[in-house]
């Protein structure tokens, strides 16, 4: 996901992993090929995109969008209302995500801040479950895992998830890369069975190896630019299946 505070987009650190069998038509996904009609097409945005033209995004095929709501406990996306509510008004399924800074406060503290400022969920068929964006520290490259031990990182994510579940009734989707996950959690499999995976891997014909414990992805961020504002994403299923996922089944 793009950070609001710097215009440069992340993925110099999306390290290429070994190729897995999860492919989509066997082609690079700078744009979705016409033959790949099944996966629902979407995107994610932050304050970097400012006021989004939602009718245009809908016309270009956007089925869903994740909108950055918060970061740590000190930042709120100033465009969140226009982006989150505007997407819904245009007939696009939307959800909110939180950019985690585990060195700043506990997982439960950040989760509570997130839910209070846009990260809520309801089973209305239009709201994606809250999402946790957890990746290498963008502010301190020497401490990419935020100074936490592997067990400490797993504990932080669990605390975040437990608080989101307590407040909203849903576990958060986890956005990450295989490289970060396996480096910073020590190949932990403790969360895969209860959390949907949003995998980030760009400009590739497939998602590559998934983080430890996951056998499939739910969302795939496959590029940081394209026909839709922000990062380009797919849902691992049809638009009808996406609607069911928003409702929790």
pLDDT tens string 24-54? 333 233 344 333 458 999 999 999 999 999 9
Q: Out of 44, 71, 167, 223, which one is annotated catalytic?
A: 44
- pTM of the full structure: 0.88
135 noted as active-site residue = yes
| pLDDT for residue 2 is more than 60 | no
Output the 3-class SS for the chain: CCCCCCCCCCCCCCCCCCCCCCECCCCCCCCCCCCCCCCEEEEEECHHHCCCCHHHHHHCCCCEEEEEEEECCCEECCCHHHHHHHHHHCCCEEEEEEECCCCCCCHHHHHHHHHHCCCCCCCCCCECCCEEECCCCCCCHHHCCCCCCHHHHHHHHHHHHHHHHHHHCCCCEEEECHHHHHHHCCCCCCCCCCCCEEEECCCCCECCCCCCCCCCCCEEEEECCCCCCCEEEEECCCHHHHHHHHHCC
* Fold entry, domain 40-247: TIM Barrel (3.20.20)
Q: Out of 71, 133, 135, 167, which one is annotated catalytic?
A: 135
pLDDT, tens digit (0-9, with 9 covering 90-100), for 138-164: 999 999 999 999 999 999 999 999 999
pLDDT, tens digit (0-9, with 9 covering 90-100), for 159-211: 999 999 999 999 999 999 999 999 999 999 999 999 999 999 998 889 999 99
44 noted as active-site residue = yes
């Amino acid at each position: 996901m793009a950070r609001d505070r710097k215009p440069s987009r992340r993925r110099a650190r999306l390290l290429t992993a070994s190729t897995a069998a999860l492919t989509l038509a066997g082609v690079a996904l700078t744009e979705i090929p016409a033959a790949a009609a099944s996966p629902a097409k979407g995107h994610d945005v932050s304050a970097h995109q400012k006021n989004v033209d939602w009718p245009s995004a809908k016309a270009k095929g956007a089925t869903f969008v994740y909108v950055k709501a918060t970061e740590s406990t000190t930042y709120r996306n100033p465009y969140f209302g226009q982006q989150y509510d505007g997407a819904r008004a245009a007939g696009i399924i939307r959800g909110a995500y939180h950019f985690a800074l585990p060195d700043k406060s506990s997982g439960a503290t950040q989760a509570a801040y997130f839910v209070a400022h846009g990260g809520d969920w309801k089973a209305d068929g239009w709201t994606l479950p809250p999402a946790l964006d957890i990746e290498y520290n963008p502010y301190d490259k020497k401490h990419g895992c935020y100074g936490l031990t592997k067990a400490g990182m797993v504990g932080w994510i669990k605390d975040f998830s437990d608080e989101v579940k307590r407040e909203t009734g849903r576990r958060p989707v986890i956005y990450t890369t295989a490289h970060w996950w396996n480096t910073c959690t020590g190949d932990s499999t403790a969360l895969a069975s209860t959390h949907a995976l949003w995998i980030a891997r760009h400009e590739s014909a497939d998602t590559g190896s998934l983080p430890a414990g996951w056998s499939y992805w739910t969302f795939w961020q496959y590029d940081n630019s394209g026909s839709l504002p922000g990062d380009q994403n797919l849902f691992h299923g049809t638009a009808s299946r996406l609607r069911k996922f928003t409702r929790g089944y």
